Amino acid sequence: MSIFKKVADFAKGPQGRRAVEQAKRYAQDPKNKEKIDRVVNKVKGRGKGH
């Protein structure tokens, strides 16, 4: 079974739905959104300080 299939199956179950809702609530907090944006930019190579 592929990792993607396992993740999709998890997300469809009750624990996965709870995890998704918790992540959505976390991401709605402005302080957390800023942290998430910084990490995304760093991963994408935009956070190099240029």
CB 20 within 8 A of CB 11: yes
pLDDT score for 33: 87
Q: pTM here?
A: 0.52
Tokens of 35: 């942290």
pLDDT score for 49: 54
Cα-Cα-Cα-Cα dihedral sign, residues 26, 29, 30, 31: negative
Tokens of 32: 């957390």
Summarised one tens digit per residue, pLDDT across range 1-50 is 799 999 999 999 999 999 999 999 988 898 898 998 899 999 998 655 54
How far is Cα of residue 41 from the mean position of the Cα atoms in its chain? 14
Cα-Cα-Cα-Cα dihedral sign, residues 10, 11, 14, 18: positive
CB 27 within 8 A of CB 36: yes
